Amino acid sequence: MCLSCVEQGWDTALIVADNFGDEIKDGVNIYDVGFNSNSRLKRFTQIVWSVYKKAIDLNADIYHLHDPELLSIALLLKLKGKKVIFDAHEDLPKQILSKPYLKPYQAKVISFLAKNFERFVCKKLDGVVAATPFIKEKFQVYGCNSEAVNNFPKLEEFSEVKVKKESKVFSACYIGNISKVRGIIEMLDALQASKDIPLSIAGKFNDPILEQKANAHPAWDKVEDHGWLDRHAVSDLMANSSVGLVTLHPIINYQDALPVKMFEYMAAGIPLIATDIPYWKQIIERSECGLVVDPFNPEEYAEKLKYLQSNPDLCAKMGENGKKAIEMEYNWTIEKRKLASFYARIVN
């Protein structure tokens, strides 16, 4: 997003708290407030206050806040007469309901408080950038000036990706954080049921116990675990794969979400198998770029994998359809124009 602002010719500053110091990178002035912390309490106090002081020092025309922790300083910036936008990456109250470390009654209370605080603050801001149409609609119901700016792929990042069709063994890939709700165990169950389809994964486990469980699964010997990869290596991995998997658990937080990796598989020109969530299913069926599945049914999951394996021409066609859909509709070139227009309306 910062790079897109630079492309528009705007002086762009990014305030961080990562201990890497100030720097200028790709035209973006990066200001480090000097420390980071895993403590939630510190994020709500020292770090947030340091970010606020640096923001005031910069005296910007527009302030674009990306973290819910910063909603408190959004009000302070408004009291200073600043133009302030909040970027709602996720539906925060729904996200809280999905937190595994909270007891159900705790999650409901905190979600209720977060919803009311979010609504109170955002109604006083100049705008809300929403990561999905559903989040945009929610904030419009609150009475906020909201625009959906989806985190779709950059066309240039995938322009050189060429799917390797010659002598390619049918294989699946999964790219992203590896967790229980992102379906790693269900993927392994499907591999076991499919018998002969390998899987490449690129990402990090968020839980050492889950990693041990995955490593002990009978199908783990079919997995090539690449760990974390840079963007170029990820592109190569997708180009060498036959199908991308995005079979997350259908928890409440994912029902209205738009998984970035789903669109990156499409941009890379490979078909995908995704969880049978209505919104995802609508996109996939309209674009004719993949299949949907119940991730908790390993036989059905394996059957969909085998179906694509047995139909290479259909597999290739779905990959082409997905890439075409990205080029025509689901790309950052379109979204960054919406963002620039939204900024212009607020400033003017």
Contact 322, 133 (CB under 8 A): no
**pLDDT for the residue 157:** 86
Model pTM above 0.85: yes
Note whether 309 and 170 are within 8 A (CB): yes
List the structure tokens of 240: 């060498």
Cβ 171 vs Cβ 242: under 8 Å: yes
Sign of the CA dihedral running 244, 247, 253, 257: positive
Specify the pLDDT at position 43. Answer: 61
Query: Over its length of 348 residues, how does the chain's per-residue pLDDT go in tens digits?
Result: 888 888 888 899 999 988 888 999 999 999 998 776 666 666 667 888 899 999 999 999 999 999 998 999 999 999 999 999 999 999 999 989 888 788 888 999 999 999 999 999 999 999 999 999 999 999 999 999 999 999 999 998 887 777 766 557 899 999 999 999 999 999 999 999 998 999 999 999 999 999 999 999 999 999 999 999 998 899 999 989 999 999 999 998 899 899 999 999 999 999 999 999 999 999 999 999 999 999 999 999 999 999 999 999 999 999 999 999 999 999 999 999 999 999 999 988
Q: What is the pLDDT of residue 174?
A: 98
What the chain holds in terms of domains, given with CATH numbers, is 2-153+331-347 (3.40.50.2000), 155-328 (3.40.50.2000)
pLDDT computed for residue 102 by the predictor = 86
